[in-house]
C-alpha cells in the first residue's frame, strides 16, 4: 500500500461528507484489532520464541508457516481482489494491469541474467520502499479520514512514521552483517556507522515531537487521534524491537511481516466487501471472508510449493520432493517473484483516490 492512500478519504473535509469525519478507518473495534492486535501478536510471538530458545537461529517452521506463508505471502495475493478479480477495474486500466507484470518479469530476467545477487538486492530495496511507504500510507489515511489538513501537523506526522522505519533500517545497514536479512544474505549494502549516528537524533526528535503534539491534542483539545497514535506507536516499537533490539531472524520475521500483512489483508477485504454489490456473482462469492482467506492461502501455498521444489529445497515435509530446475532459474526465479513485484508496483497506483473513483466505497463509514 503506497503513500498515495492519502487521497482515499478526502471527501471527509466539506459539506455533507463532513459528517463522515472519523478518528477511525474501519471502526474502533476493527482498528484496534487490526493495528494494535497485530502488533501485540507479534510481541507475544517474540516472547514465545524467547522462551522456546529460537532467537539465535533461523525461524522454525511452526513460526514460518503462520507468519510467512499465511500472512506475508498471502497478503501479496490480496492485490488480486483489488485488481484482477474485479472485471470492471481490470477493464478500466487494462494496459497498466497487463503491462506492469510483463515489464516486471522482463526486468527481473534481465537483472537475474546479470547477477542473482543484483536481482535479490533490487527486489529487497523495492520491498523495503513498499514496507516503509505502507506505514506512511496508514498515517495519511487517518489524517484524511479525520480531515486533518495542517501543514505543521503533516510534517510532524510524516517525520515520525518515516523515522520510525528509516532509523532501524539505517542501524541495520550500518551494522552488517546481521543474523537476518530481507531475502538472502548480502542483499543489503553496507553503510558507514556515521549514517546511523546521524539518524538517531533525528529519530528521537521526530518521535518526541509527535508524542508532544499528540499529548497536546488529548489534554488541551480533548480530541486526540487514537488510531493514528496506535499506528505510529506500534510501528516504532515493532521496527525497533525486530531490527535494532534483537539480532535475530525469528524476531525480525514475527515483528515485520505480521504488522505489515494483517492490516493490508483487512483493508483489501473491507474494500472487497463494499465493492461486492457493484460487481458480479463471482466477485461476491470470493468477497466472503472464509472464501477470501482460503483463496489467499491456497495461492500462497501454490507459490511457496514452486519456490521450495524448484529453488530452495528446504521444506520437503510441507511441499514435497525437490525438482531439478537449476537450468531454468534465470526465468523461474523472476517468474516466482512476479506476484510480489507486481504487488509492490501496483500498490502505488490502486489506492490513489484521484485516479480511482470507485474508492468512494471507502468513505461511506467504517462498520
Q: Delimit the domains of the chain by residue range.
A: 3-356
279: exposed, middle or buried (C-beta count within 10 Å: 0-12, 13-18, 19+)?
A: middle
Per-residue pLDDT band for 84 (boundaries 50, 70, 90) equals very high
Q: What is the secondary structure of 267-327 as a DSSP string? A: HHHHHHHHHGGGS-HHHHHHTSHHHHHHHHHHHHHHHHHHHIIIII---HHHH-S----GG
Residue 20: its pLDDT value, please?
55
For 258-310, write each residue's pLDDT tens digit: 999 999 999 999 998 888 888 878 788 888 899 999 999 999 999 999 999 99
Residue 345: its pLDDT value, please?
94
68: exposed, middle or buried (C-beta count within 10 Å: 0-12, 13-18, 19+)?
A: buried
Tell me 2's DSSP state. Answer: -
Residue 287: its pLDDT value, please?
84
Judged against a pLDDT cut of 50, whether residue 10 lies above it is answered with no
The least confident of 25-34, 118-127, 228-237, 350-359 is: 350-359
Residue 23: its pLDDT value, please?
87
Residue 139 Cα distances to 30, 62, 283, 309, angstroms: 16, 32, 29, 40
Per-residue pLDDT band for 17 (boundaries 50, 70, 90) equals very low
In percent, the amount of the chain with pLDDT more than 70 equals 92
Judged against a pLDDT cut of 70, whether residue 366 lies above it is answered with no
Q: Alpha-carbon distance 332 to 69, whole Å?
A: 19
Q: Alpha-carbon distance 215 to 265, whole Å?
A: 31
Judged against a pLDDT cut of 60, whether residue 85 lies above it is answered with yes
State the average pLDDT over residues 56-61.
90
Judged against a pLDDT cut of 70, whether residue 24 lies above it is answered with yes
Per-residue pLDDT band for 14 (boundaries 50, 70, 90) equals very low
Judged against a pLDDT cut of 60, whether residue 26 lies above it is answered with yes
Per-residue pLDDT band for 323 (boundaries 50, 70, 90) equals very high
Mean residue pLDDT across the chain? 90
Per-residue pLDDT band for 362 (boundaries 50, 70, 90) equals low
Q: Alpha-carbon distance 17 to 36, whole Å?
A: 28
Residue 62 Cα distances to 70, 110, 168, 330, angstroms: 12, 36, 26, 31
Nearest Cα to Cα of residue 40 among 254, 266, 293: 254
Between 226-239 and 37-52, two packed helices, what is the crossing angle to 10 degrees?
A: 20
For 124-179, write each residue's pLDDT tens digit: 999 999 999 999 999 988 998 888 889 999 999 999 999 999 999 999 999 999 99
In percent, the amount of the chain with pLDDT more than 90 equals 76
For 181-238, write each residue's pLDDT tens digit: 999 999 999 999 999 999 999 999 999 999 999 999 999 888 889 999 999 999 999 9
Pseudo-torsion of CA 257, 262, 264, 265, nearest 10°?
Answer: 130
Residues in the chain, overall count: 367
Residue 22: its pLDDT value, please?
81
Q: Which alpha helices (DSSP H) does the chain contain, by range?
A: 28-31, 37-52, 61-64, 74-82, 87-92, 94-114, 116-146, 151-174, 193-216, 226-239, 249-275, 281-286, 289-307, 316-319, 329-336, 338-350
Judged against a pLDDT cut of 90, whether residue 9 lies above it is answered with no
Judged against a pLDDT cut of 50, whether residue 320 lies above it is answered with yes
Amino acid at each position: 500500500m503506497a503513500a498515495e492512500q492519502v487521497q482515499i478519504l478526502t471527501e471527509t473535509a466539506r459539506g455533507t461528507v463532513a459528517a463522515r469525519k472519523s478518528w477511525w478507518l474501519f471502526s474502533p473495534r476493527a482498528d484496534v484489532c487490526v493495528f494494535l492486535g497485530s502488533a501485540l501478536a507479534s510481541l507475544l510471538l517474540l516472547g514465545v520464541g524467547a522462551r522456546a530458545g529460537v532467537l539465535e537461529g533461523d525461524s522454525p517452521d511452526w513460526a514460518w508457516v503462520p507468519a510467512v506463508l499465511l500472512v506475508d505471502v498471502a497478503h501479496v495475493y490480496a492485490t488480486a481482489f483489488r485488481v484482477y478479480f474485479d472485471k470492471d477495474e481490470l477493464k478500466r486500466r487494462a494496459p497498466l494491469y497487463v503491462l506492469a507484470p510483463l515489464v516486471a518479469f522482463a526486468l527481473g530476467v534481465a537483472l537475474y541474467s546479470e547477477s542473482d545477487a543484483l536481482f535479490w538486492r533490487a527486489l529487497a530495496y523495492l520491498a523495503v520502499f513498499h514496507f516503509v511507504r505502507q506505514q506512511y500510507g496508514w498515517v495519511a489515511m487517518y489524517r484524511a479520514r479525520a480531515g486533518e489538513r495542517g501543514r505543521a501537523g503533516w510534517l510532524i506526522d510524516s517525520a515520525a512514521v518515516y523515522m520510525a522505519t528509516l532509523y532501524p533500517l539505517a542501524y541495520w545497514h550500518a551494522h552488517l552483517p546481521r543474523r537476518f536479512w530481507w531475502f538472502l544474505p548480502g542483499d543489503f549494502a553496507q553503510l558507514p556507522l556515521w549514517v546511523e549516528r546521524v539518524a538517531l537524533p533525528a529519530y528521537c526528535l521526530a518521535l518526541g515531537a509527535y508524542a508532544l503534539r499528540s499529548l497536546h491534542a488529548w489534554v488541551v483539545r480533548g480530541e486526540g487521534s487514537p488510531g493514528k497514535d496506535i499506528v505510529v506507536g506500534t510501528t516504532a516499537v515493532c521496527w525497533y524491537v525486530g531490527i535494532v533490539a534483537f539480532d535475530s531472524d525469528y524476531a525480525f520475521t514475527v515483528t515485520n511481516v505480521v504488522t505489515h500483512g494483517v492490516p493490508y489483508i483487512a483493508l483489501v477485504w473491507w474494500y472487497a466487501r463494499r465493492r461486492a454489490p457493484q460487481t458480479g456473482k463471482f466477485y461476491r462469492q470470493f468477497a466472503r471472508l472464509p472464501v477470501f482467506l482460503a483463496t489467499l492461502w491456497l495461492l500462497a501455498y501454490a507459490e511457496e510449493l514452486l519456490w521450495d521444489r524448484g529453488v530452495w529445497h528446504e521444506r520437503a515435509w510441507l511441499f514435497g520432493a525437490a525438482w531439478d530446475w537449476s537450468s531454468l532459474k534465470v526465468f523461474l526465479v523472476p517468474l516466482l517473484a512476479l506476484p510480489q513485484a507486481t504487488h509492490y508496483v501496483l500498490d502505488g497506483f490502486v489506492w490513489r483516490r484521484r485516479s480511482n473513483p470507485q474508492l468512494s466505497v471507502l468513505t461511506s463509514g467504517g462498520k
